[in-house]
Amino acid sequence: MTRSSKLTLALCFALLPLWSAAQDIPALSGMWSDPPPRAEDAFCHVGCPVEARDYLTGILEDPDNLDKTFGELRGEAQRYMRTELIPSYLTPAALENYPFDSGRDPSLTACEPWGFTREILSPHAMQLTQYDDRVTLYYSEWTALRTVWLDGREPPPDFENTLLGFSTGFYDGDALVVETVGVTANHSNAGFAHSDRLTSTERFRKSEDGMRLDLEVTFEDPLTLKRPLTMARAWAWAPTEEIYPYEDCVIPE
């Protein structure tokens, strides 16, 4: 891409918030990328339970831990998340397959795209574009494209579950709320598998300075989760970032 093309792209993204403001909705459109430079954001780079993020904050701020390195404290938060927190949410059936064996991951063994829970919390760039009747979310991982319908439509009568499901949304103050149903069974970045009855509610919010986009998503699944699980991640504003075709998958020999 030429320098002039990049400047034009940056100008287009700069104008998108003006369009959103004119519509009296939060201006979320644009390119967002790797997390802001904060310890908790790095910890949740591919999504983490909100409780695990808060646990990390707590031990980082505890004066009793001043003699410990960040690596040690991050490791403690990961241990808590993996061995205590996540298992406490899982049904007995789900615990039998926890943690998920990454050696059986279809994305590694057969170059199959990621499932819903991993895709929406995936690392790297994500382009969010707002329209009158929909919002699109374009992820750099697997170059996956989601459409979130804002016009109140229901899933078609013949709709069959897909990797990314069927998403509808609405604006609630400064937040975009997205509700998704109809996803195929898969597994998450947090190590647990979920069924095709998983549903989610996402809330996207932009910081006051416009430099970060926060997502909190609540998952419910009567077959694998005993109670709703809320996970989070954040992106940094990156107007000159680009998303390229996903051509990096190689099946290990």
Instruction: Give the pLDDT of residue 109.
Output: 82
Average pLDDT over residues 207-216: 97
pTM: 0.88
Please give the Cα distance from 166 to 22 (Å, whole number): 28
Instruction: Give the pLDDT of residue 5.
Output: 47
**pLDDT of 164 higher than 90:** yes
Which pLDDT band, with edges at 50, 70 and 90, does 17 fall under?
A: very low
Average pLDDT over residues 55-69: 97
The alpha carbon torsion through 49, 76, 126, 130 (nearest 10 deg) reads 30
Provide the terminal-to-terminal Cα distance of the chain, rounded to the nearest Å: 35
Average pLDDT over residues 110-127: 94
Instruction: Give the pLDDT of residue 219.
Output: 98
Candidate from 5-19, 190-204, 230-244 with smallest mean pLDDT: 5-19
Angle formed at CA 238 by CA 54 and CA 42, multiple of 5 degrees: 25
Average pLDDT over residues 171-177: 98
Average pLDDT over residues 66-94: 97
Greater confidence, 161 or 16? Answer: 161
Buried b (16+ CB within 10 A) or exposed e, 192-223: bbbbebbbbbbbbbbeeeeebbbbbbebebee
